[in-house]
Amino acid sequence: MLQSRIRALVSTVGLVAGLGLGAGLGLGAATPALAANVFRFAFQGDIKSLDPYSLKESFTIGMHGAVYDSLITRDKDLKLVPMLAESWEVPEPTRWRFHLRKNVKFHDGSDFTADDVIFSANRVRAPGSNFTTNVPADSEWVKIDDHTVDMVLKTPNPIAAYQFSTWYIMSKSWAEKNGAVAPTLPSALSTSYAALHENGTGPFLVTEHQPGVRTVFKKNPNYWATVESNLDEAVFTTIQNDATRVAALLTGEVDWIDPVPLQDAQRVNGSGTATVMAGPELRTIFLGMDQSRDELKDSDVKGKNPFKDIRVREAFYRAIDEETIAKRVMRGQAVPSALLIAPVLYPRAAEFKRPDYDPKRAKALLTEAGYPNGFSLGMDCPNDRYVNDEAICQAVVSMLARVGVKVNLNSQPKAKYFAKVLAPSYDTSFYLVGWTPSSQDSHNILFEIAGCRSGAKAGRGNWNLGNYCNPKVDALADQVERETDETKRNAEIKDGFDQIQADWGFIPLHQQALAWGVSKKVTLVQRPDNMLMLYWVSKKP
């Protein structure tokens, strides 16, 4: 006690003396009492809320997954495997039966039963939830006994359970006791108990949560399964600044960071203590073109919209050299893509090939379409959303300039960008977006990205900012939604993607690479969905 006071005094003197920086303080290097094996990790963003229905964002979902369990989870290869549901079957196309695991307890000691599943199914679809699409909207949940529960659908749906892996099960009695029965509305004036406290069934407990600063996870000694991780504790901190985050990894103050900026990858690899773990992400970066307005905005072409001409769309596609973007702008940390979906998510993806880069043909097509000298248009681009997003757009601008198209680039922070390009105004002629289908299924692409924005079916074309519209694609999307035979379904999906390509509807660019900085003491699993799952993290003590 006295010693530490003296140490503190020495440190204060050192501080005031200012110049004698390190000397006096080397004494104070004593580390606080540590639990046996602590994993420290830093992400550029926050864990804002502990409520698992509050924000659909990969990192946050992964963190909630350390504390909460789902009925079905995804394994290291993204395959669906049992978790709280030991098994399930589909006795008839519209009825799914889940057999729940017995002897599972929530962190507060109460038992996990069918009531909790039904409660969670309702809560996740309530207003204020960010995960309403995870459980089919038309499904009804029926308790058969304490450990059997049925999901009854109105129409057959082969992918009804695809998003169950990020739908975490909460405790009914706990939520009722603490006034957290409904998710918090964005306009709510009071703090939700569930935002600051957790009560899951998962392998870790949260013992401290300061939103935006730090969150401490401790091993759950009563977990129902054996856990691969050997951690006793995991401490999360936000480090927003790129340089500071890399420095923290290099000094060993943290064992994991995300992301490592592209330009720092070599430095991390050269450090000897940490490496960059890179792998393709599920997100596809692509360009879209406004194909709905009769006159293109911010363009010198008056009275018509050049993008309504398929030749112009093909010309744009062929004028952009994605290989160079992947190699130069992305420093090799990107995989050029022929599809709007990552290849791991669609078994027949290998059958698609990206049309060749061909500026001569692009120029010829533009001439044929009546623009021998090109034309000018505006392009919208975020500058803080995807890896090197602004630089990609700049490269696209200069590539299009070579075929005579003058692009006026408008790069903005995401907060401004999305306000401009999303509903209701869809104020853009040419834009860059990155998309991960939350269901991890192609239907999502055919429906939300490439579906007609006619409003005939809620949600269709929600993110189709340029309103590419082909009724054949919509019809195929509806078939895919119902089709339960996998081979047939994959064939229909292929038809859909072929149709989009035949229309030159979009310009897929690449899947950007994940870039985690990982200490050499740590072993973990990097899934392409960019979620860090603590139960797969181990650290050499």
Partner 1 sequence: MIAFILQRLLQSVAVLFAVGLIAFSMFRFAGDPVNQIVGVDTPAAERIAIRKDLGLDDPVAVQFLRYAGNVARGEFGTSYQFRQPVAALLAERMPATLELALCATLFALTVGIGMGVYCALRRETWLAKLFLAISLVGISLPTFLIGILLIFLFSVTLGWLPSFGRGDTVRLGWWTTGFLTASGLRALILPSVTLGLFQMTLIMRLVRAEMLEVLRTDYIRFARARGLTTRSIHFGHALKNTLVPVITIAGLQLGSVIAFSIITETVFQWPGMGLLFVQAVQNVDIPIMAAYLLLVAAIFVTINLTVDILYTIVDPRLRLSAGRAR
Residues in region 56-75 near partner 1 by CB under 8 A: 56-57
List the one residue from 79, 458, 471, 487 that touches partner 1 (CB under 8 A). Answer: 458
456 lies in the binding site for partner 1 (CB under 8 A): no
6 lies in the binding site for partner 1 (CB under 8 A): no
- Contact by Cβ (8 Å): 354, 382: no
Q: How many CB atoms lie within 10 A of CB 421?
A: 23
541 lies in the binding site for partner 1 (CB under 8 A): no
Q: How many CB atoms lie within 10 A of CB 6?
A: 11
Q: Which of residues 191-210 bind partner 1 (CB under 8 A)?
A: 191-192, 195-196, 210
- Contact by Cβ (8 Å): 39, 233: yes
CA distance 206 to 67: 7
List the one residue from 185, 225, 456, 502 that touches partner 1 (CB under 8 A). Answer: 185
For residue 455, give every residue at least 6 positions away whose Cβ sits within 8 Å of its Cβ, in sequence order, or none.
none
* Residue count, binding to partner 1 (CB under 8 A): 79
2 lies in the binding site for partner 1 (CB under 8 A): no
Stretch that binds partner 1, among 167-175, 220-228, 231-239, 519-527 (CB under 8 A): 231-239
- Count the alpha carbons within 13 Å of 65 in the hemisphere toward its beta carbon: 25
137 lies in the binding site for partner 1 (CB under 8 A): no
CA distance 407 to 405: 6
Query: Quick one: which of 115, 85, 83 has its CA closest to 97?
Result: 85
| Closest approach of partner 1 to the CB of residue 458, in Å | 7
CA distance 257 to 42: 5
Residue 424 or residue 471: which is nearer to partner 1 going by CB?
A: 424
Residue 415 or residue 456: which is nearer to partner 1 going by CB?
A: 415
22 lies in the binding site for partner 1 (CB under 8 A): yes
List the one residue from 208, 300, 351, 384 that touches partner 1 (CB under 8 A). Answer: 384
Q: Provide the Cα torsion 27, 33, 38, 39; round to 10°.
A: -40
Q: How many CB atoms lie within 10 A of CB 356?
A: 10
Q: Which residues pair with 258 in a beta bridge?
A: 43
Stretch that binds partner 1, among 197-205, 315-323, 409-417, 495-503 (CB under 8 A): 409-417
Place of tokens 């692409």: 445
Binding mask 459-488 for partner 1 (x = CB under 8 A): x--xx-------------------------
Q: Provide the Cα torsion 79, 82, 87, 93; round to 10°.
A: -40
530 lies in the binding site for partner 1 (CB under 8 A): no
List the one residue from 35, 36, 81, 213 that touches partner 1 (CB under 8 A). Answer: 213
Stretch that binds partner 1, among 63-71, 97-105, 182-190, 390-398 (CB under 8 A): 182-190
Structure token digits, residue 469: 């519209």
Place of tokens 């698609």: 352
239 lies in the binding site for partner 1 (CB under 8 A): yes
| Closest approach of partner 1 to the CB of residue 329, in Å | 23
List the one residue from 116, 150, 255, 448 that touches partner 1 (CB under 8 A). Answer: 448
- Contact by Cβ (8 Å): 99, 88: yes
List the one residue from 36, 81, 419, 502 that touches partner 1 (CB under 8 A). Answer: 419
Q: Which of residues 31-50 bind partner 1 (CB under 8 A)?
A: 31-32, 42, 46, 48-49
List the one residue from 73, 113, 120, 133 that touches partner 1 (CB under 8 A). Answer: 133
φ and ψ of 8, to 5 deg: -60, -40
Residue 170 or residue 239: which is nearer to partner 1 going by CB?
A: 239
414 lies in the binding site for partner 1 (CB under 8 A): yes
Give DSSP secondary structure letters for 227-277: -S---SEEEEEE--SHHHHHHHHHTTS-SEEEPPPGGGHHHHHHTSSEEEE
CA distance 368 to 280: 38
State the pairing for strand pair 506-519/538-539: unpaired
| Closest approach of partner 1 to the CB of residue 130, in Å | 5
List the one residue from 1, 2, 79, 186 that touches partner 1 (CB under 8 A). Answer: 186
CA distance 432 to 286: 6
Place of tokens 């999502």: 444
Cis check for the bond before 424: say yes or no (omega within 30 of 0).
Answer: yes
| Closest approach of partner 1 to the CB of residue 24, in Å | 10
Stretch that binds partner 1, among 239-247, 338-346, 392-400, 515-523 (CB under 8 A): 239-247
155 lies in the binding site for partner 1 (CB under 8 A): no
Residue 117 or residue 250: which is nearer to partner 1 going by CB?
A: 250
12 lies in the binding site for partner 1 (CB under 8 A): yes
Binding mask 330-369 for partner 1 (x = CB under 8 A): ----------------------------------------
Stretch that binds partner 1, among 152-160, 201-209, 338-346, 410-418 (CB under 8 A): 410-418
Stretch that binds partner 1, among 12-20, 82-90, 335-343, 355-363 (CB under 8 A): 12-20
Three-state DSSP at 401 gives helix
CA distance 358 to 467: 26
Q: Which residues pair with 100 in a beta bridge?
A: 85
List the one residue from 91, 272, 424, 471 that touches partner 1 (CB under 8 A). Answer: 424
- Count the alpha carbons within 13 Å of 187 in the hemisphere toward its beta carbon: 1
| Closest approach of partner 1 to the CB of residue 186, in Å | 5
End-to-end Cα separation, the chain, in angstroms: 28
| Closest approach of partner 1 to the CB of residue 46, in Å | 7
435 lies in the binding site for partner 1 (CB under 8 A): yes
